[in-house]
Structure formats: structure tokens, C-alpha cells
Structure 1
């Protein structure tokens, strides 16, 4: 069966990065090289400025991509940006940071943050999306390539459905799921519809989608950045921590600090000539 070393970096991976590694090296893309390992890597192996991850060679190509949204597929935390419009960004961002580190119960933290948005005009959601929300580098290529290769794609967020619906359409996700902000009289009520989608619900979504597709959780690749993503990342066949908090990074199969999201394609052995932009 064996293992494969995958070297990725948004700035590019030089051929020399694989020097000294025992195995057959193949360039997948300017920012990705894989090496079919003949023997285990030397202790402490690292390449400055390059992410080095080892994955099993067997069943690398996955049939489901399941992804977090905020700070993973997009570059911001939507709730923090909404809080900026409400003049409470510092207070909300501090709670967000603690929740992502796993220091606070997610549901309680979400309730506390959303309560601070009470009275904000509903129209601010559109302003926030238009002005602040951008796909992270490689997101659209990742999602559309996996869809083109026949995989299911799901955006599962502890954030808000207003944003996931739009981000999913932009990136190319087939489905999306998130929490719903309650609105009355054109203003946010400061409450979220129940049940709240959090850490357990993300794992449940992974299990439900794979069951629906007639595949196992080992056939999924999951990516996130915070403690809220821990269960789905740990359960998936390849669990990826993308510029993640320590709580998630410590548990993931692959850690990405120098790469864009096309690295998830490289982890599966999908070369650039198969990518869909």
C-alpha cells in the first residue's frame, strides 16, 4: 500500500524540496510535488516555506469534499464583519477567537455574539457580503475540480445561511448548510434559529452525506480551521487543517500553513492538468 509525501506551497515548490527523500518524485503542479516513499521520512523532516504531509497511497482520491466556510473557503469570519457594522467587532472577535480555539462552548458563544447584533438592519447582510466576503485562493478550483471528477461537494458552516448560499454558488458547491439569523421588521433580532449547527452537526452532516451517496467517511476529505471542525476533520479519510488553530492542527491528517486550497487536490494526487478553473 505504502505512503506518499505531498509537498505544497502557494509560492511554488522547487525540485530540490524532494532531494534526499527515498522514493519516486512526481510534479503535480508548480506548487505541488508528490513522492511515493520507499521508506519512512527521516525524523524531523521539514522544508522551509513548504507544507510536507504524508498520506496513505491507497484510496487517496476522495468522493466527497466537505468544507467549513469562514476562514477556510473565505478569508473572513462573517460574524466578526457583521459586528464591525454594528460597532462591536472587537468584543465579538474576541469571543470568536476563543470559540475557535475550543475554549468556549460553540452554541453559547454563538448566542452571545449574535445577541450583540440585535437591531442591525437586514440590509447590512448584503453590504457585508459585497464588501468583505472573498473566496480564498484555490477555493473555486478545488471545488469545481472535485465536482468535475464526480465527487459530492458540501459547504457545512457554523456561520450563517445567508452567506453559505452565496459562497456555495460562487465556489461551485452542490450543497450548503448553516445557521439562520432571525429577522423581524427588517432587523436582526439577536437570535439564531434552532437547532444550532455546530461541531456535532458537522460530523452528522458528513455521516449523512456519505450514507446518502453509498460511500464511507473514509471516502471524504474534510477541511476546516477551528475547533468546531474537529469531529468532521478527525472522522474523514483525509482531514485537513487549513491555517488552523492548534486544537484542530494537532488532530488533522494534513496541516497547511504555506499552501492555498489547491493543496487538497495535490493531497489526493490530482495533477494540475485535471484542474478546473
Structure 2
């Protein structure tokens, strides 16, 4: 069983000693000062994994569990969610703020991301309907004034490209923002939802098929297949329940500042380090 440790600056020897008190460590490989991989003699149960993650919190260190099938040199695709993963905001909530409906929209967003609303498409249509009459110019204000890349985003994309990895942004958000980010970061491929705009104002409708959890997973699998590989060749990153399908079965799944339901099922949960920390494993 291999576990990975990630710290913003440097892995503490004290943490490794504490892990060693309850688990037999076969080997320790320090990938970089901030990242180490420990091979444990035995597999871990759920309680032991929870204990190690809690131990990591005490040392401001993210503790993750590498799947047996994960091999850094095999990774060909990096697939990411956009809102609250690659960027710092939920774009739909900020657009709603333009018409004083942020609270109403964000409550639905939060419920959907926590997995309390099963049908993501339905939740998106409800939120978009509340945006009827918003001027399209609000998009530019959100992008320029409110949207920021999360820590390590630029480094993550640049590092992935340097290794020849295909970068895929799959979002339940909107094409206006994914297209802007594709240009800004030179992303290989993006998919998102398109809002209907008539005479410069939102109609409250979504055009075409909705990019939900199932669609995200399909885009990841299709890109891996096109590159002559299976899903084990993908790293997937997300924060909400609609990311779980694309994360399931990936070479490595990463929950970034994620909802509890996502942290529980992801291989790695980044709460202390930036997005680019995963590059240390490649």
C-alpha cells in the first residue's frame, strides 16, 4: 500500500515517525521536499485511512492513498472541473449577484455539489432560469473582477504540457468562461454548457445537452480512448458530487478543497497544497 504526503513547504520527519508508530513502512521516497511516497507493508482499512488523514491535518499535510494501478509515467490526460477547482468561484453564483439573486442560486449550487440534488441537469436549469434578464456584459465583469485561478493552477497546466499530457477542462459551468480559460492557459480541450443570449440578455435557458456528471466521465473516457489508453491514464480533479463519475476508476482522483462526499471517495484530497502538487508524482 502506497500513501502520498503533500506539504506546502517540506514534509516533516516527525509526521513520518508518527506514521511509523502504527504502520510498518517498507520504503520512503521523497519525490521533492514537499512530497513523499511511503510504501506500507499492509493495506489500510477505512478507519486507518481516516486516522492517517487526521494525523496529516495536525501537521498541515495532505495524506492520500495511491491506487495499485497508478503509474505516473502512464498518465496521458489531466481532466479538471472548473468552478471551485481550477478557479476560485462558482461562476453562476457570481452572475446571479448581478440581479441580486446570489443567495437563492448559491443555495441550490451548494446542495447540488454536496450531492443532495441527484439530478444536476435539473438543478442547473433551475439556477439558470433565475438568471433571466441578466445582461451578457455581466460575464466580463465576473471574469475580470471576481474570477481568479486557484493556487498552483498555472504551474499545473504548464507542467502537464511539458510532460506531453492532454489537458481537459470539463465543466458544469459555462462556455464563456471555459473558452476564456482555454486561451489564457492554452488548455488542450474544454467542454461546458452554453447559455442562450438574445439581444444581449440571458433568456434563462441552456442550449443543447447539459454537461453533467455522466457527460464529464464520457469526455474523459473518450479522450483516453482517442489516445490509445483506458481511464487509468487519466488524473481527474474536482470538488463536487457531479465530479465523482469522472473521478471513479481514474488513474488518480484528486479532491481539491472539496465537499466531504468527494473527499471520502477520492484517492487524494488537497486541502493544504496547491493544484500543482500532483506533478511531483509524475
TM-score between the two structures when normalised by the length of structure 1: 0.90
2: distance between equivalents of 1:133 and 1:245?
A: 20
Aligned to 1:143: 157
How many equivalent pairs are there? 266
Q: Residue 199 of structure 1 corresponds to which residue in structure 2?
A: 213
- Could you tell me which of 171, 184, 189 is aligned with 1:170? 184
Q: Report the Cα distance in structure 2 between the residues aligned to 1:123 and 1:216, rounded to whole angstroms.
A: 41
Please name the residue that 1:274 is paired with. Answer: none
Q: 1:230–1:55: structure 2 CA closer, same or farther, 3 Å change rule?
A: same
User: Does the CA contact (< 8 Å) of 1:164 and 1:178 recur in 2?
Assistant: yes
Structure 1 runs (4+) greater than 6 angstroms displaced: none
Structure with bigger helix share is 2
The structural deviation recorded for 1:130 is 0.2
Query: How far off is 1:109 after superposition?
Result: 0.8
For 2:255, which of 219, 237, 241 is the aligned residue? 241
Q: Do the aligned partners of 2:82 and 2:170 also contact (CA within 8 Å) in 1?
A: yes
Partner of 1:53: 64
Q: Give structure 2 stretches of 5+ with no counterpart.
A: none
Deviation at 1:11, TM superposition (A): 5.1
Select which of 75, 86, 94 maps to 1:73: 86
Conservation of the 8 A alpha-carbon contact between 2:69 and 2:232 = no
Distance in 2, Cα, partners of 1:165 & 1:75: 17
Q: Helix, strand or coil for the counterpart of 1:230? A: helix
Which residue does the alignment assign to 1:18? 16
Q: CA RMSD in A?
A: 1.8
Cα deviation 1:63-85 (Å, max 9, x = unaligned): 11001000000010000011111
Does residue 34 of structure 2 align to residue 31 of structure 1? Answer: yes
The answer (yes or no) to whether the contact 2:154–2:185 under 8 Å persists in 1 is yes
The structure 1 residue matched to 2:148, chosen from 110, 126, 134, is: 134
The answer on whether the counterparts of 1:135 and 1:171 sit within 8 Å (CA) in structure 2 is no
User: Structure 2-normalised TM-score?
Assistant: 0.88
